[in-house]
Chain A
């Protein structure tokens, strides 16, 4: 039981990946790329979903995937023409498939109407050119030429027990597509399979490939099940194996079955399965059928070769907890190594020199080890980005807006924990852009903008951080409305005169939604504050810049990993603190630098012609009255408020630190992003520069550092 649950989880994970691939291929097709391999790859993705779904009996998904796959098959064989209209349909079909997968996984609600619509469109596509249905898999039965009246629809629930023999000859990519003959045969047992006889020749051992399946099976059923049931079971294998069916009921149906009265149900199915559907007269004599099958096998072999598999990069699925254990262990090694180095520096010079080289080498290796381990956890953001086009399409439909999502930097790699947590805030932000940002097409036209709005979702590495940008070319933040709302909520007084940038930031307050009407899309008070919280929980920050009439730009800054950080150690009083190196601009000795005092008694530091706000870490962090030296100023980048200078007593140096959470056993502390353990075993706090600065800012004059 557990086993099958594991498989189920694996299936859904795989579905996620397959849908991501599908999306990518369809995107490229949408862009006009007509590489046949794209269609092939998309076909494989749909087929694999279908195969998995069949193994677990997700009927709705199987049925839809089957129709989808038939269209894809038609496209890859050139029977159906590929144009942008078709790609559009395929994209919607991909969306529906994703919905159905969600339904299979969490029992999510499904808009049956939408499923049926898309399904019908897909069926119409294949129905449009039934005469071309002949497949290169082999000569089509004569009945394949026209939608055959399917006896399946009219047949009774249970038939007389009979013997049905189905030969299944896997194509080369059978195993590659995720099918497992053993599982298939086991599953077939449920359908009264009584014997499975292999046929075909095993090649010599030296030619045997683990991925190939050189033999086929003759599956003998003794069953009273309706034809349709067997057909449904084998539908999965239709494009991936040659199937021959010998069912006496098809060959010689009871007179009672009013075959002709049945409506054509699945004119789209491939040739082999049409044997199920074909009226008795059309059932090929066994000899001819097996001849056709042989030809099919040859053709399929050729196709398999020229189709050329995308050499997938070799991957290994490892449970995340195992990697975490490794990451933690490496973290401990880094600390121990630092302890060793420190201890060594305290011993006599001679020994230090001798051992020093080894320690240095070890330190290099440790660092390398750490990087490799961290790289295991890294994943391209693509896996979350690829879900977003669907979000935008769905919303565009719901909101009657036209929008185009442009993705950039999908290959940027981020820690997998970060990736998992990103989907929700990103979806939220896209909703926000679609709902509040973009104007309706008519409105845009009046404003002289293109009817279709553009939303850009981009990721890039910047030092030790990842920047994610969500940008739209909509109307920007309605500042008047935000002010009104903020006054209404008592966030600010009516007389408060905020600079525009600060007004914009108000939208990050809890319960803040400026949508005039609560829509089902966004607004209802769950908004940007949730996004901000989520991002902060990941050790990141979010910043928004709005240009009225031109658009809004959200910038999320995230740490590359949640485990290590390059830091600068500084000393204030008896305490040591770590400043993330990524935010440190430079360190200045305060003497000789000019410190000016403003009328409100706050201070600024003159630095190459500009003035920087001075913030005393001692006061901000409430450190006692140990000898007040404050001789160094560390200029840091706050990302949102430009540069500021932090006053510290002493600069100790640079080092890599292992991030430890304060929240695990305590809570979030303002101004601190985490802690680390120093070489001597003591804990040092890692400072969060932007929140530190806002603490100082909020405290105004009394908290400002005074230098006399």
Chain B
């Protein structure tokens, strides 16, 4: 898992770029440019708007919460605040990720809440013009469709852009 080594620099790079003049503002051919952090679950690449990514953290064991959906891996201590961690693989119907020290928790903002997403590795930061985002082809089983905002063809292959709110924000309703 040499990917792990990339995550730290990637995280640092993030901070640097967050402070830089926002690339979104720059008008570009093919619509507005937006940056996405991409990460891997298995071979699949997912992307999240860089503005929503707060930090990237190495996996540490979480504290389980009773009676939660199986993809809800429990909570962790993020410098004094309690942050829930969701398993992205399990959220998309896969088995639970066997998390090790090389796995990564992407800490994101969903509205006012801070939430962790467990993935295998962070891979890249890509710039995408809004015109290059393709819709998800319709399908019968639309359960997870709403969780994906669109598809992008990046150099390394297709990246699915996540709609974090419908993925994990909806958890609020369950009580």
Q: Does residue B64 face the partner (Cβ distance < 8 Å to A)? A: yes
Chain B residues, CB < 8 A from A664: 81-82, 113
Indicate the size class of the contact surface on chain A. 20 to 34
Interface contact B67-A670, CB-CB below 8 Å: yes
Chain A residues, CB < 8 A from B61: 682
Interface contact A684-B63, CB-CB below 8 Å: yes
Indicate the size class of the contact surface on chain B. 20 to 34
Q: Does residue B75 face the partner (Cβ distance < 8 Å to A)? A: yes
Q: Does residue A581 face the partner (Cβ distance < 8 Å to B)? A: no
Chain B residues, CB < 8 A from A683: 62-63, 74-77, 82
B83 to A: closest C-beta gap in Å: 5
B56-74: which have CB < 8 Å to A? 61-68, 74
A626 to B: closest C-beta gap in Å: 12
CA distance A332 to B80 in the complex (A): 7
CA distance A481 to B83 in the complex (A): 45
B73-100 Cβ-contact flags toward A at 8 Å (1 or 0) = 0111100111110000000000000000
CA distance A575 to B75 in the complex (A): 12
Q: Among B7-15, B128-136, B142-150, B167-175, which stretch is in contact with chain A?
A: B167-175
Chain A residues, CB < 8 A from B82: 660-662, 664-666, 675, 677, 683
Partner of B66, one of A328, A667, A669, A675: A669
Partner of B65, one of A328, A332, A660, A669: A669
Chain A residues, CB < 8 A from B127: none
Chain B residues, CB < 8 A from A662: 65, 75, 82, 84
CA distance A667 to B84 in the complex (A): 9
Q: Does residue B35 face the partner (Cβ distance < 8 Å to A)? A: no
CA distance A664 to B82 in the complex (A): 8
Interface contact B63-A682, CB-CB below 8 Å: yes
Chain A residues, CB < 8 A from B114: 665
Interface contact A672-B80, CB-CB below 8 Å: no
A608-624 Cβ-contact flags toward B at 8 Å (1 or 0) = 00000000000011110
B103 to A: closest C-beta gap in Å: 17
Interface contact A670-B175, CB-CB below 8 Å: yes
A681 to B: closest C-beta gap in Å: 6
A680-708 Cβ-contact flags toward B at 8 Å (1 or 0) = 01111100000000000000000000000
Interface contact A622-B76, CB-CB below 8 Å: no
Chain A residues, CB < 8 A from B76: 683
Q: Does residue A671 face the partner (Cβ distance < 8 Å to B)? A: yes
Greatest chain A CB density within 10 A among B62, B75, B83 is at: B75
CA distance A621 to B80 in the complex (A): 24
Interface contact B65-A672, CB-CB below 8 Å: yes
CA distance A623 to B64 in the complex (A): 8
A183-238: which have CB < 8 Å to B? none
Interface contact A665-B66, CB-CB below 8 Å: no
CA distance A660 to B114 in the complex (A): 14
Q: Does residue B115 face the partner (Cβ distance < 8 Å to A)? A: yes
Q: Does residue A550 face the partner (Cβ distance < 8 Å to B)? A: no
Known: A675-B75, A683-B76. A575 touches B63 (CB 8 A): yes
B20-61 Cβ-contact flags toward A at 8 Å (1 or 0) = 000000000000000000000000000000000000000001
Chain A residues, CB < 8 A from B84: 662, 665-666
CA distance A661 to B63 in the complex (A): 14
Chain B residues, CB < 8 A from A335: 80
CA distance A424 to B44 in the complex (A): 51
Chain B residues, CB < 8 A from A677: 77, 80, 82
Q: Does residue A628 face the partner (Cβ distance < 8 Å to B)? A: no
A171 to B: closest C-beta gap in Å: 52
Chain B residues, CB < 8 A from A660: 80-82
Chain B residues, CB < 8 A from A575: 63-64
Interface contact A672-B63, CB-CB below 8 Å: no
CA distance A668 to B174 in the complex (A): 9
CA distance A304 to B173 in the complex (A): 63
B66 to A: closest C-beta gap in Å: 4
Chain B residues, CB < 8 A from A661: 82
Partner of B77, one of A328, A622, A668, A682: A682
CA distance A667 to B110 in the complex (A): 13
B113 to A: closest C-beta gap in Å: 5
Interface contact A665-B68, CB-CB below 8 Å: no
CA distance A332 to B75 in the complex (A): 18
A324-345 Cβ-contact flags toward B at 8 Å (1 or 0) = 0000100110010000000000
CA distance A621 to B66 in the complex (A): 5
Chain B residues, CB < 8 A from A671: 66-67
Interface contact B66-A666, CB-CB below 8 Å: no
Interface contact A665-B113, CB-CB below 8 Å: yes
Task: With CB as the reference atom, state the residue of chain A lying closest to B65.
Answer: A669
Chain B residues, CB < 8 A from A681: 77
A175 to B: closest C-beta gap in Å: 45
B96-114: which have CB < 8 Å to A? 113-114
CA distance A666 to B84 in the complex (A): 6
B90 to A: closest C-beta gap in Å: 16
Chain B residues, CB < 8 A from A331: 80
Known: A665-B81, A665-B83, A665-B84. A675 touches B63 (CB 8 A): yes
Chain A residues, CB < 8 A from B171: 666-667
A113 to B: closest C-beta gap in Å: 45
Partner of B68, one of A620, A669, A675: A669
Interface contact A685-B63, CB-CB below 8 Å: yes
Chain A residues, CB < 8 A from B74: 683
Chain B residues, CB < 8 A from A623: 64
CA distance A623 to B63 in the complex (A): 11
Chain A residues, CB < 8 A from B172: 667
Interface contact A685-B81, CB-CB below 8 Å: no
Partner of B175, one of A332, A668, A675: A668
A255-276 Cβ-contact flags toward B at 8 Å (1 or 0) = 0000000000000000000000
A448-506: which have CB < 8 Å to B? none
A45-101: which have CB < 8 Å to B? none
Greatest chain A CB density within 10 A among B67, B83, B113, B171 is at: B67
Chain A residues, CB < 8 A from B65: 662, 666, 669, 672, 685
Between-chain CB contacts (< 8 Å), 20 pairs: A331-B80, A332-B80, A621-B67, A660-B80, A662-B82, A662-B84, A664-B113, A666-B65, A666-B82, A666-B84, A667-B172, A667-B175, A669-B65, A670-B67, A671-B67, A672-B65, A683-B63, A683-B76, A683-B77, A685-B66
Given contacts A662-B84, A667-B175, A683-B63, 4 further A-B contacts (CB under 8 A): A662-B65, A665-B81, A670-B175, A683-B77
Query: Which residues of B does A touch, CB under 8 Å?
Result: 61-68, 74-77, 80-84, 113-115, 171-172, 174-175
Q: Which 6 A-B pairs have the closest CB atoms?
A: A621-B66, A683-B63, A666-B84, A665-B113, A675-B82, A660-B82
